[in-house]
Structure 1
Amino acid sequence: MLVKEFIFKIEEKFPLSLQQDYDNSGIQIEGPNLELSNVIVTLDVTEQSVERAIETNAQMILSHHPMFFHPLKSIKSGNFRERMIYPIIMNSISVYSAHTNYDAAKNGLNDLLSEKLELKDVKPLMKMDDFGNGIGRVGYIRKQPIEEFVNFVKEKLESDHVKFAPAESRYVEKIAICSGAGSDLLDSVLSSDVDLYITGDLSYHEIATAVQSGLSLIVVDHDETEKFFEDGMIDFANSFGIKTTKYHERFYWIL
């Protein structure tokens, strides 16, 4: 399969029309339309992931977070993002990102999270069309003490720590989730009559507002909700017989 054919398959499954206005999903750097023998799948385009692509003779880097969010005014060697452009182009590598379109798409990241957490009767929190696409997800679990479900979430998301903010009710049954940063959805969650919201990157004041409003929270590190992008996209690429290399990079540690 050629690079452009694979990109067509990605956009057919996870349409760019689903991305948020602020986003820049899609082609980041268009390289030659080569036969794909290896694709690097990663959350972020970094100098290390570019090095791995070169080492493995990959023709494409497929990332979750876009390489470019803002227009470039110049290309200088001092900036790490701009510095990556030279080796990418010189080694004929294409860079493609599937971000909020992958989050919102049916069978995309939020559905993967729903499956991980064994949610039932799952629907988009904010519906975008009649085909199952939308922002966030709402589903149901067996009614249980919230402390029991917190441990289940840590196990299923393979996370050794979370922020746990329980509201007055100690039982949960109806759950809302949003991969990555979910603060923009907080008002929609509060009006959706759910018991618990699972997301990343909520501030102290947002947590306080939610709990005082009767909504329990599990706040997971941003990348801990998004790391399943790599496995999901690897399965997608492998379904077309494309070889993949997973490159997962972590930039911080909890001490």
Structure 2
Amino acid sequence: MYIKDIVKIFENKYPKSLAYNWDNVGLIIGNEMDSVSKIMLTLEATQAVIDEAVENKVDLIITHHPFIFKGLKKINTSTTKGTDIYKLIRNKISVYSAHTNFDIAYDGLNDEIAKRLDLKDVLVLDTTYDQKLYKIAVYVPVSHQECIRKTMADMGCGNIGNYSDCSFTFEGVGRFKPLNESNPYIGIKNEIETVEEVKIESICEESKLSEAINNIIKAHPYEEVAYDIYELKNKGKKYGLGRIGQLKNSMKFKELSEIVKKSLNINEIRVTGNLEDDVNKIAIVSGSGSEFINNAYNMGADVLITGDVKYHDAQNALELGIKVIDAGHFGSENIFSDIVEEYLQNKFENIEVLKSKSNINPFVTI
């Protein structure tokens, strides 16, 4: 399988378009036409991770933190980053990064933490935008209707709330005359043809619209495909950073803190607030999210779980009366590899997926 095929499937779940403008996501090192048989997952591609990838003959490294974030003026072995890039290219190892798009996307980092805490009624904490919705209506001969429905569903069309593969079908008769320059699938040139057809309608998100149309055209038997696109007033999914939801049952803040440690498989956390207070509504921002303390408070959260909380942000939280669990940047994001491993293994049977053993927290508590 080629890198471009893996990227296509990955970005169908975690679109690049969700990333912040300042971010650097996607294929950062490599050629999309290179073949892949082994993938390594890691929070970031450090020298140790790259050495591990070389040793294990890995073709593609998928990271959460962008391998290249700021612009580079030189690439040579006199710098650490230059050495890393040189080693990757020399060993034909590509690097793909999914950062804020992975934080924002559904079933990404924040949703996974909410899932591990068994939260209910989960909503987006800070909305970045509402996805526009379109309706695709395509006319197809009866013989190919199931093929087209599957193509549309495979592209994510027809997702409504907790339902997928939603569509509606009208039966009718199509009429057309193939002209001299045509190469008709059905009919004879310069003669009117009538065909039993169906009109299939399905909803599609804006980010998937172009590719959905392209795939429909490829799967359709006709030389010229008749289809309509309607922009809808219906509200699509809200996308944004962080999540907020409720525990199934209220508990002491101390108990929640212990559950967070166990859920994220970390040994220590920092907290602000009375450990004996009851808590119920929980906000989550993986990585560095202390800037969302006020958002969480305004949405009624009792606790914000995040990382990299600064002194003055913690003081602000105390003043507001919202509790904070600082699980650390590494601690709140290290489950990235677990999420991607499960997703890719369900998609690819003939590709080996490894989680890096060299991906470690740079901080040591003594």
Same topology, TM > 0.5:
yes
Task: Say which SS state the counterpart of residue 133 (structure 1) adopts.
Answer: strand
- How far, CA to CA, are the matches of 1:197 and 1:225 in structure 2? 12
Contact 2:252–2:276 (Cα < 8 Å) also in 1:
no
Q: Normalised by the size of structure 1, how large is the TM-score? A: 0.95
* Distance across 2 between alignment mates of 1:85 and 1:159: 31
d(CA) in 2 for partners of 1:211 and 1:125?
20
Quick check: 1:136–1:177 contact (8 Å CA) kept in 2?
Answer: yes
- Per-residue CA distance 1:33-62 (angstroms, 9 max, x = gap): 233210010011111111122112111010
1:172: how far off? 0.5
Kept after mapping to 1: 8 A contact 2:2/2:32:
no
CA contact (8 A) 1:105 1:132 kept: no
Deviation at 1:152, TM superposition (A): 1.5
After the TM superposition, which residues 37-48 of structure 1 pair with which residues of structure 2 at under 5 Å, given as runs?
Answer: 37-48=37-48
Structural mapping, 1:10-25, within 5 Å = 10-25=10-25
User: In the TM superposition, what are the counterparts of 1:1-255 in structure 2 within 5 Å?
Assistant: 1-31=1-31, 33-127=33-127, 128-129=129-130, 130-131=236-237, 133-141=239-247, 142-166=249-273, 170-239=277-346, 240-241=348-349, 242-247=351-356, 248-255=359-366
Q: In 2 relative to 1, CA 169–191 (structure 1 residues): closer, same or farther, beyond 3 Å?
A: farther
Quick check: 2:308–2:328 contact (8 Å CA) kept in 1?
yes
Letter in 2 for 1:243: E
Bigger mean CA offset, 62-71 vs 234-243 = 234-243
The structure that has the greater radius of gyration is: 2
Q: Please give the alpha-carbon distance, in whole angstroms, between the structure 1 residues aligned to 2:58 and 2:33.
A: 13
**SS of equivalent residue, structure 2 residue 287:** strand
| Displaced runs of 4 or more, over 4 A | none
Moved more, 33-42 or 95-104: 33-42
Deviation at 1:131, TM superposition (A): 2.6
Q: Hey, what's the Cα distance between the residues in 1 that align with 2:291 and 2:73? A: 30
* 2:288 counterpart letter in structure 1: A
Structure 2: tracts of 5 or more residues without a match? 131-235
Residues 115 and 158 (structure 1 numbering): CA distance in 2 closer, same or farther, change over 3 Å?
same
Partner SS, residue 4 of structure 1: helix
Conservation of the 8 A alpha-carbon contact between 1:45 and 1:61:
yes
The sequence identity of aligned pairs, in percent, is 33
CA deviation string 1:134-186 (max 9, x = no partner) = 21000101111211211111121111111111159811010000100002322
Q: What is the TM-score of this pair, normalised by structure 2?
A: 0.67
Q: Aligned partners of 1:201, 1:21: CA distance in 2, in Å?
A: 22
Residues 125 and 136 in structure 1, CA contact (< 8 A), matched pair in contact too:
yes
Q: In the TM superposition, what whole-angstrom CA distance separates every residue of 1:185-238 from its partner, at most 9, and x where no partner exists? A: 222112111111100001011001011111011111111110110011111221
2-structure distance, mates of 1:144, 1:73:
53
- Between the aligned partners of 2:315 and 2:72, the Cα distance in structure 1 is 38
- More displaced stretch, 130-139 vs 36-45: 130-139
What residue ranges of structure 1 are gaps of 5+ in the alignment? none
